[in-house]
Chains A and B, each alone.
Chain A
Amino acid sequence: MQDDKAPITRQKFIEELLRYRKGSVTRRHFLGVTGLGTAMAVMGGAMPLLSPRRAFAQDIGGEVVLATWPNYHDPANFDAFAAETGAAVQVNVFGSNEEMLAKLQAGGSGWDVFVPTNYTITTYVDADLIEPLDLSKLPNYDAAAFEARFADAGTVGGKLYAVPKNWGTTGMAWDSSKAKAPFTSWKEFFDVTMTDFSGRTMVHDYQLTTIGNALKYFGYSFNSIDAKELADAEKLLIDVKPHLFAITSDYQPAMRNGDAWLTMCWTGEGKQLNRDIPEIQFAVGKEGGEIWSDYYAIPKNAPHRDAAYALINYLIDPQVNAKEALAHGFPVADSRVNALLPPELLADPILHPAAELLNALEFGAAVTLTDPNRAELMARFKSA
């Protein structure tokens, strides 16, 4: 997951709005789930002191704190976990990996479990912010059930630091009623933006994908930090800027109400848009682009370590994980889970692109995220 990877749908937004108005959730929670700010949220069962403690087989404490992305879990699973173990799950919702990193770097986060994206894990290891996982406490983890590309970022220096949660792609979504032909490449994405779709296209407010996809226009690597290649991408972005509708990671509202016709788009949201409005189609660029994978990890000094292991172990239980997947809709890397999911979900071309398309995609690299030149390029683009 990256910046606002699953920003909220309009319907969900309205639901959250109503909850917020009723006072049943806090403003911070509202900010968090709408993907608009760093947020801390207290969700169901987050008041353990009020519910009497029962006797449990193994005492792991009364609570466990999870830092994750918006709309990325089935709350019923948390309730079941609390009922089973006595530990209530307190959820903190985040908008970007940078914010997560900043929070952990600042110290005292109080998190027990968090959900980093593949390319950030080495940074966490280098900064000594996470600890290797003790597999004896994760009996539900089966390395053999995972395709290597979705799992290997969890291992750094031979040690396992994180286990896979979900994966996805970054492609483009467009309104097919406005397009002359289906989009198939990032070249078309930017070229049509400067012609037929002028004023109707959105790019992410996120350097990794916006610069990465601009690099793909020229056939460069998504992860390039080469000065010349970045200069080409910058020129393209600056040329395209006057034709953009917006630079935003909250692109669903504009797509849904017809203000925008084309956007960079993360898998899950492409699926959501397509499900609600069939004219909106989704594809990954044939030149390539991003594929990503999210993991569960435990920060150093987690206050409830036993509960952290128990929660991860619970959530990666194939039965539980299948329920999670049905709730949030993102592809799962665990073959045991896929065996439990409906076949049409696995056959969906949005969630599971054809192999040749998938193979062209690249995982984001750690340096892609931390490279100061890419950050500066993005800033110049936005303030141009």
Chain B
Amino acid sequence: MAISRHKARLLLLGPAGLWYAALLVLPLAVVLVYSFGERAAAGGYAPAFTLAQYANLGSRWAAFKNTLVLAPAGTLAALLIAYPLAYFLAVRVNPKWRTALLVLVIVPFWTSILIRSYAWIYLLGGRGIPTLLADLGLGDWRLINTPFAVLVGIVYGYLPLMVFPVYVSLEKLDKRLLEAAADLGAPPWRSFLQVTLPLSLPGVATGSMLVFILLMGEYLIPQMLGGGKVFFVGNALVDLFLQSRNWAFGSAMSVTLVATMLVVVTLYMRFLKRIGAARDDIGVM
């Protein structure tokens, strides 16, 4: 009995296991092997065993620095904007309008990020918002091709990914808990801090993870709104694989990026656990 159940479990895990092997483990293994190789004379990969690629990582320090500053900053900014929006949608809005408003949040996703970024190029460019600011007498602003423009672009581009998990966690929040808090003497802002916020942390965690991980690999928005001057690891990778075709170095950078992500995500999860958002506590009820 125990054995057949064991077998059945293996059978069920089979497809998932294959999926992981084919789509996750295998490519990562290839990248890992390549990262110890060399650039072939005409570009590409030549087998070798050297740590030279890793030793050269310092030459891309700025890309790592930009990514590690702007990815968390973008995540935080997206969260600060998404949370009130999600709260409004989940708690305040008349349910009659809720679906329509939720759809509006996704509508931008129906258009290519490329086109939307072009819109921002014009908005943040000299004839856009800076003209407006100048007309209002607020001084001479250069917005396009700055880290700020990239931040605007990534927050804009990834906002829906943050809104939805937060919305879901707020939407399933039992409204009677807030009534209970009020009944026990908590004014609305305190019951928000003591009940709503902690109970929506799983959504905050999911959204932040999602946005952060995608931002770590972002390259299109920095390319378009950073004018090639705000350089992410993703941009360095695109150059390495498509322009200079140094696959070995590109692989070493990819491995480093993945390792960095793992470290950051682990630290973040630990932090979340410590502030009491352990899944078990919230999953039930």
Q: Is the CB of B144 within 8 A of A127?
A: no
Of B62, B114, B122, B144, which contacts A384 at CB under 8 A?
B62
Chain B's nearest CB lies how many Å from the CB of A32? Answer: 12
Within 8 A of A (CB), among B117-156: 118, 121-122, 125-127, 142, 144-145
Q: A237 near B: Cβ within 8 Å? A: no
On whether the beta carbons of B231 and A383 are closer than 8 Å, the reply is yes
Q: Are A246 and B243 in contact (CB under 8 A)?
A: no
In contact, A375 and B246 (Cβ under 8 angstroms): yes
Cα–Cα distance between A202 and B39 once the two chains are bound (Å): 30
Check A207 against B59 for contact (C-beta < 8 Å): no
Q: Is B245 touching A248 in the complex (CB atoms < 8 A)?
A: no
B157 adjacent to chain A (CB < 8 Å): no
| A138 interfacial by beta-carbon distance below 8 Å | no
Q: Does B13 contact A (CB under 8 A)?
A: no
B246→A247 contact, CB < 8 A = no
Interface string of B80-118 (1 = CB under 8 A from A): 000000000000000000000000000000011011001
Binds A, one of B23-31, B197-205, B233-241: B233-241
- Contact residues in B for A31 (Cβ distance below 8 Å): 114
Centre residue among A123, A127, A375 by max chain B CB count within 10 A: A375
Give the chain B neighbours of A257 by CB distance below 8 A: 122, 125-127
Q: Are B145 and A246 in contact (CB under 8 A)?
A: yes
Question: B284 within 8 Å of A by Cβ?
Answer: no
Question: Interface with B: A96-104, A164-172, A318-326, which one?
Answer: A96-104
Interface positions of A from 229 to 275, Cβ below 8 Å from B: 241, 244-248, 253-254, 257-259
CB <8 Å contact, B114 and A379: no
Q: Which residues of A contact B244 (CB under 8 A)?
A: 207, 372, 375-376, 378-379
A34 adjacent to B114 (CB under 8 Å) = yes
| Contact indicator B121/A253 (Cβ below 8 Å) | yes
Mark contacts of B209-243 with chain A using CB atoms, 8 A cut-off: 1 yes-contact digit, 0 otherwise: 00000000000000100011101000110011011
- Report the minimal beta-carbon distance from B133 to chain A, rounded to whole angstroms: 15
Asked, given contacts A31-B114, A375-B244, A383-B236, whether A248 binds B62 with beta carbons under 8 Å apart, the answer is: no
Interface centre among A21, A38, A375, A379 (most CB of B within 10 A): A379
CA distance A248 to B42 in the complex (A): 25
**Cα of A247 to Cα of B127 in the assembled complex, Å:** 20
- With A127-B42, A246-B145, A382-B235 known as contacts, the answer to whether A36 contacts B228 (CB < 8 A) is no
> Is the beta-carbon distance between B142 and A258 smaller than 8 angstroms?
no
Complex contacts, A137 vs chain B, CB 8 Å: none
B74 CB → nearest A CB, Å:
19
| Chain A nearest Cβ from B2, distance in angstroms | 50
Contacts of B43 in A (CB 8 A): 370, 372
Within 8 Å by CB of A98, from B111, B115, B235, B243, lies B243
Q: Does A53 contact B (CB under 8 A)?
A: no
Closest chain A residue, CB of each to CB of B244: A375
Query: Is B126 in contact with A383, judged by CB distance below 8 angstroms?
Result: no
Give the complex CA separation of A105 and B59 in angstroms.
28
The reply to whether B227 and A36 contact each other, CB–CB distance below 8 Å, is no
B60 in the interface (beta carbon within 8 A): yes
Across the interface, A246 reaches (CB within 8 A) one of B111, B118, B126, B229, namely: B229
| A102 CA / B235 CA spacing, docked (Å) | 18
In chain B, residues 27-79, which have Cβ atoms closer than 8 Å to a Cβ of chain A?
Answer: 39, 41-44, 59-63
CB distance from B125 to the nearest CB of A (A): 5
Expressed in whole angstroms, the minimum distance between the Cβ of A83 and any Cβ of chain B is 34
Does A125 interact with chain B (Cβ within 8 Å)? no
Give the complex CA separation of A92 and B42 in angstroms. Answer: 24
State whether B229 touches A258 (Cβ < 8 A). Answer: no
Cα separation A241 to B227 with both chains bound (whole Å): 12
Partner among B111, B114, B243 whose Cβ is within 8 Å of the Cβ of A378: B243
Please report the C-alpha to C-alpha distance between residue A341 and residue B89 in the assembled complex, in whole angstroms.
63
* Cα distance, A247 to B243, chains bound together (Å): 15
Contacts of B127 in A (CB 8 A): 257-259
Within 8 Å by CB of B242, from A17, A98, A127, A199, lies A98
A27 is an interface residue with CB less than 8 A from chain B: yes
Whether A241 touches B229, Cβ cut-off 8 Å, given contacts A98-B242, A382-B235, is yes
Residue of B nearest to A13 (CB): B118
Within 8 Å of chain B (Cβ to Cβ): is A12? no
Q: How far is the CB of B38 from chain A (nearest CB, A)?
A: 10
Q: In this assembly, does A30 line the interface, its C-beta being within 8 Å of a C-beta of chain B?
A: yes
Do A372 and B229 touch (CB < 8 A)?
A: no
Contact B227–A245 (Cβ < 8 Å) = yes
Give bound CA distance, A383 to B111, whole Å: 30
Judging by beta carbons under 8 Å apart, are A199 and B42 in contact?
no
Tell me which residues across on chain A come within 8 A of B122, comparing CB atoms.
253, 257
Q: How far is the CB of A140 from chain B (nearest CB, A)?
A: 33
Most buried by A among B59, B235, B244: B244
A159 within 8 A of B: no
- In the complex, how many angstroms separate the beta carbon of B139 from the nearest chain A beta carbon? 15
Assuming the A-B contacts A246-B145, A257-B125, are A17 and B115 also in contact, with contact meaning beta carbons closer than 8 angstroms in the complex? yes
Cα-based distance from A364 to B145 in the complex (angstroms): 30
Question: How far, in Å, is B230 (CB) from chain A's closest CB?
Answer: 10
Q: Does A205 count as interface, using CB distance less than 8 angstroms?
A: yes
In the bound assembly, the distance between CA atoms of A205 and B127 in angstroms comes to 24
Nearest CB in chain B: distance from A211 CB, A: 12
How long is the Cα–Cα vector from A315 to B211 in the complex, in angstroms? 49
How distant is B159 from chain A, measured CB to nearest CB, in Å? 21
A36 to B219, CA, bound (A): 12
* In contact, A27 and B126 (Cβ under 8 angstroms): no
Q: What are the interface flags for A300-312 relative to B under an 8 Å C-beta threshold, 1 for contact and 0 otherwise?
A: 0000000000000
A380 close to chain B: CB less than 8 A = yes
Residues of A within 8 A of B240 (CB): 379
* 9 residue pairs from A and B, CB less than 8 Å apart: A30-B112, A31-B114, A38-B242, A98-B242, A244-B229, A246-B227, A258-B126, A372-B39, A379-B240
Additional 16 contacts, C-beta under 8 A, given A127-B42, A376-B59, A382-B239: A31-B114, A38-B242, A98-B245, A207-B244, A241-B229, A248-B228, A253-B122, A257-B122, A257-B127, A258-B127, A259-B127, A370-B41, A375-B245, A375-B246, A383-B60, A384-B62
